[in-house]
Structure 1
Amino acid sequence: MDKILFKASLTGNVQVLNELLAQDELILDRVSLIRVSETPLHIAALRGHNDFAKILLHKKPTLAMSLDSSRQTPLHLAAAAGHVEIARELLHVTSAEGCRFCDKDGRTPLYLAAKNEQLEIIKLLIETKPDFCKELQENGETILHTCIFYNRFEAFKLLCQLWNEDELAILKDRNGNTLLHLAAVHKQVQTVKYLLQKSSIRTNKNVVNKHGFTALDVLDHYPRDFDALGIRTLLLEANVQRAKHVKSFQTDESASSQNVTSNNKPNGNWLEKQRGILILATIVVATTSFYSGLHPPGGTFTDSKDGPLGNAVKTEPDVGPFSDFVIQNTIIMVLSLMIFVVLLSGIPLRNTFCLWVLNLATLCIMFFVAVTYLVEIANMSPDTWVNGLTVIMCFAWMLLCLLFAFIHTIFFITWVVKKLLKARTRTQMRNNNPINGV
């Protein structure tokens, strides 16, 4: 008879259920005592058999708190599957503790509803148990943290109504991350935009977590992609700062104003703000050199039998000038791609070594652009004659590039020497003062 009951619960056959109850009034009592996995109510809640579930609850309300092998109640299953009517019936007979009950993984019915973005279930729980929805979960976080973790934006917006703006600004997880921190970490552009629209979030935008990071700082510790670049732009537009700048501002306002001035230099925040534009510029340069390599000056012989693309016209009198052009063009393309990779990798542009490499690569590109331009102009001119002013300007530009490269290298070497001397001094002081070192 038990097998017939469970088969009826799979199909939601109310007629068979009524017949079984008429034949044996204790059948539900035996099921709740003997069954160690799903009860018929679990199956009805999962399948969405409303009438079947109502009869079971009417005959034996205690089935609402029965547990399956995962320690889930029927309300867990109805919430996860989005069966609103069954969830409403279960809430009528379930106590507040039943709503708070966690399965073996510490998940409440609200957790499962948020994870699966069952908006109608969430609305029902908010209407019937608003205080429960605001309670902390077993991991010490709120349901809003769960929504961000699973990227459930609509559920997040719906549940945000339970908290006022001031409360939203101070909600933190165990690591001290605010909602803005988490949205940035999980690269949720919509959520970041939504949070920054709230005045209290903007007021507390520079809060640091337990590791001393602001929402802008945490982006540096995760892989860089276009979502991360978009979030970085949003945070910078909202004037979110790095933790070290926030601390300097709090300790000394005048010193902070000087830092802001220095950070406007090309090696400061300016580069971070312009990272996306720099990436686009490197793509354009690399694409242009790639195109120039396949379509060299003078074109190609399309009827050549030496290769499917045809020989370059420049190779006809002498292959030497064409070989030089290919080398110069390849250097420009490879250096552009190298800069693109460095920018896209997310390495902080305040890093002195990174700045030195980017500066040298950029100056090399500018140098070889001028060299290639001058050589190709000469090759296209009668008897390789080039206007004197053009030659002077090109050579002046190449010398300027070499001068700047030399200056940046000197600055970099000076920085390395200072770092080594400081490290050596600290080591000597530690050796001379073993007690302080301990």
Structure 2
Amino acid sequence: MDKNLFEASLTGNVQALNELLHKDKLILDRVSLTRFNETPLHIAAMRGHLDFVKVLLREKPTLAMSLDSVRRTPLHVASAGGHMEIARELLQVMSAEGCGFRDQDGRTPLYLAVKNEELEIIKLLIQKNPDLGREILQENGETILHTCIYYNSLEALKLLCQLWNEDELAMVKDGNENTLLHLATVHKQVQTVKYLLQIPSIRTNENSVNGQGLTALDVLDHHPRDFEALEIRTLLMEANFSRSKDVKSFQTSQNVTNLENKPKGWYLNTNANWLEKQRGVLILATIVVATTSFYSGLHPPGGTFTNSRDGPLGNAVKTEPDIGPFSDFVIKNTIIMIFSLMILVVLLSGVPLRNKFCLWVLNVASVCIIFLVTATYLTEIANMSPDTWVNPTTLFMCWIWMLLCLLFALSHTIFFLTWVVKKLLKARKSDQIGV
């Protein structure tokens, strides 16, 4: 930037600016071609030189959208500095979209005006573009209302809340699902809490929780207790706000009542929450079964010939008289191990166990494991007995148990297919209605 132009901008010397423009009519045009931190308009807006700004905008209005080294427009500078008249002049030559331009930190002129609670500039900005007051400022869902609370700008909050529907104010949340009341409570802003509680939708939404499952009253329990916290606690309790544990207890009692009034069902109305709670136990059980089958495969019944030359680990003793029973044992044991590992993968994947298909797969796989364990036990008992003789009572109990396993798997499969058919028919009926 020309040295004389810089000094004129710094002092707001309009006469010097006019002389420079008279000598060199392209001096402002060359500004955009020069490396600089701020343009003359940035400097004049920062120092509050209104007359100097007027001349610059008259000679070159496009300077209003020029950017400094951190991508701020002159309107950013004027808004942060509280120079209302300069902001007014800039808004006259800027578009509605231009006054919402974001710098490299994602901050708009409205953000900077709210930060310093420049109410008159806030009014100018939202008059130019009312959508600025409803814009999402950050990727985490933060709005300008959250900014008001972060900087304790209560008057700015009151002004901007007028741009929102009353019901929307209760549902405005940031990326951590904190409502405006959550944030005001976290920052212990007593006056802000009082103002928010005057809004009916916020007052009636007393059980709203954030991403951590905490109500506004819960938040106070995680911060030091002082006079502000005590006063806010009193305000919330007088407004009938509750803690999350009290809300859950109330909801649980309602759910129990609703369940008692619901028609009972076996599969189509199954609630698999109990299975979710037992996920850890199921993981441990499948690990034990998989480990046991793995050990049995390496240490088959009857042991091995350790001095055998046919394999590094030795041949199984059972292969000596007849390899057929041993192959049968290996197949059953492998299926048990694979099915156990399959169930373990499903449990570790985090798939919701209340999913009907997932529940059916786990049931059938578990029944297969139980069936094969029983069959393998019966076979090995017979192989260890003289002439493969098995006590009739043992044989009867094993066969009955295996039959029950098959019936259990078949019944679950039938009910699962029934559920699938009903879903498909319902979807087809909906499509026909839509057509």
TM-score by length of 2: 0.58
With over 3 angstroms needed to count, the CA separation of the structure-2 counterparts of 1:428 and 1:202, relative to structure 1, is closer
Partner residue, 2:149: 148
Are 1:206 and 2:207 an aligned pair? yes
Contact 1:50/1:86 (<8 A) preserved: yes
Partner residue, 1:237: 238
Are 1:78 and 2:78 an aligned pair? yes
How many Å apart are 1:255 and its aligned residue?
8.2
How far apart in 1 are the matches of 2:81 and 2:16?
A: 25
How far apart in 1 are the matches of 2:8 and 2:37?
A: 17
How many Å apart are 1:183 and its aligned residue?
0.5
Partner residue, 1:118: 118
- Structure 2: runs of 5+ lacking an equivalent: 258-278, 288-342, 349-435
How far apart in 2 are the matches of 1:164 and 1:247?
A: 29
Pick which of 230-239 and 89-98 moved more.
89-98
Contact 1:117/1:154 (<8 A) preserved: yes
How far apart in 2 are the matches of 1:205 and 1:18?
A: 62
Letter in 2 for 1:84: M
SS in 2 for 1:252: helix
Partner residue, 1:219: 220
SS in 1 for 2:97: helix
How far apart in 1 are the matches of 2:50 and 2:42?
A: 12
Partner residue, 2:90: 90
How many Å apart are 1:164 and its aligned residue?
2.5
How far apart in 1 are the matches of 2:94 and 2:130?
A: 15
Partner residue, 2:197: 196
Alignment of 1:45-60 (within 5 A): 45-60=45-60
With over 3 angstroms needed to count, the CA separation of the structure-2 counterparts of 1:94 and 1:254, relative to structure 1, is closer
How far apart in 1 are the matches of 2:68 and 2:115?
A: 20
Partner residue, 1:180: 181
Contact 2:67/2:73 (<8 A) preserved: yes
Partner residue, 2:380: none
How many Å apart are 1:216 and its aligned residue?
0.9
Partner residue, 1:170: 171
Alignment of 1:328-367 (within 5 A): none
SS in 2 for 1:53: helix
With over 3 angstroms needed to count, the CA separation of the structure-2 counterparts of 1:433 and 1:51, relative to structure 1, is same
Are 1:6 and 2:18 an aligned pair? no
Contact 1:36/1:68 (<8 A) preserved: yes
How far apart in 2 are the matches of 1:9 and 1:196?
A: 48
Alignment of 1:316-327 (within 5 A): none
With over 3 angstroms needed to count, the CA separation of the structure-2 counterparts of 1:432 and 1:153, relative to structure 1, is same
SS in 1 for 2:91: helix
Contact 2:110/2:132 (<8 A) preserved: no
How far apart in 2 are the matches of 1:100 and 1:130?
A: 10
Query: Matched residues, percent identical?
Result: 71
How many Å apart are 1:253 and its aligned residue?
4.3
How far apart in 1 are the matches of 2:212 and 2:281?
A: 30
How many Å apart are 1:138 and its aligned residue?
2.8
How many Å apart are 1:246 and its aligned residue?
1.5
Letter in 2 for 1:79: S
How far apart in 1 are the matches of 2:169 and 2:216?
A: 15
Contact 2:88/2:124 (<8 A) preserved: yes
Letter in 2 for 1:220: D
With over 3 angstroms needed to count, the CA separation of the structure-2 counterparts of 1:221 and 1:23, relative to structure 1, is same
Partner residue, 1:31: 31
SS in 2 for 1:96: coil
1:153-195: CA deviation from partner (whole Å, max 9, x where unpaired)? 1211111111132111111111111101111111111111111
Contact 2:148/2:157 (<8 A) preserved: yes
1:206-263: CA deviation from partner (whole Å, max 9, x where unpaired)? 111122111111222222222112111111111100112222323424989xxxxxxx
SS in 1 for 2:28: helix
Contact 1:45/1:53 (<8 A) preserved: yes
How far apart in 2 are the matches of 1:72 and 1:210?
A: 34
Letter in 1 for 2:244: A
Pick which of 69-78 and 239-248 moved more.
239-248
Partner residue, 1:275: none
Contact 2:65/2:98 (<8 A) preserved: yes
Partner residue, 2:65: 65
Alignment of 1:224-373 (within 5 A): 224-253=225-254
Partner residue, 2:361: none
- Structure 1: runs of 5+ lacking an equivalent: 257-425
How far apart in 2 are the matches of 1:69 and 1:254?
A: 59
Contact 2:96/2:128 (<8 A) preserved: no
How far apart in 2 are the matches of 1:119 and 1:152?
A: 10
Letter in 2 for 1:51: D
How far apart in 2 are the matches of 1:428 and 1:166?
A: 45
How many Å apart are 1:133 and its aligned residue?
2.0
Q: Which has the larger radius of gyration?
A: 2
Contact 1:249/1:255 (<8 A) preserved: no
How far apart in 2 are the matches of 1:153 and 1:252?
A: 40
Contact 1:214/1:241 (<8 A) preserved: yes
1:112-161: CA deviation from partner (whole Å, max 9, x where unpaired)? 00001111101111222112221111332110100101111121111111
How many Å apart are 1:431 and its aligned residue?
5.5
Contact 2:10/2:44 (<8 A) preserved: yes
Partner residue, 1:365: none
SS in 2 for 1:240: coil
Alignment of 1:374-389 (within 5 A): none
Contact 2:145/2:157 (<8 A) preserved: yes
Contact 1:39/1:68 (<8 A) preserved: yes
Contact 1:248/1:255 (<8 A) preserved: no
1:348-367: CA deviation from partner (whole Å, max 9, x where unpaired)? xxxxxxxxxxxxxxxxxxxx
1:299-355: CA deviation from partner (whole Å, max 9, x where unpaired)? xxxxxxxxxxxxxxxxxxxxxxxxxxxxxxxxxxxxxxxxxxxxxxxxxxxxxxxxx
TM-score by length of 1: 0.58
Cα-Cα RMSD: 2.4
With over 3 angstroms needed to count, the CA separation of the structure-2 counterparts of 1:247 and 1:3, relative to structure 1, is same
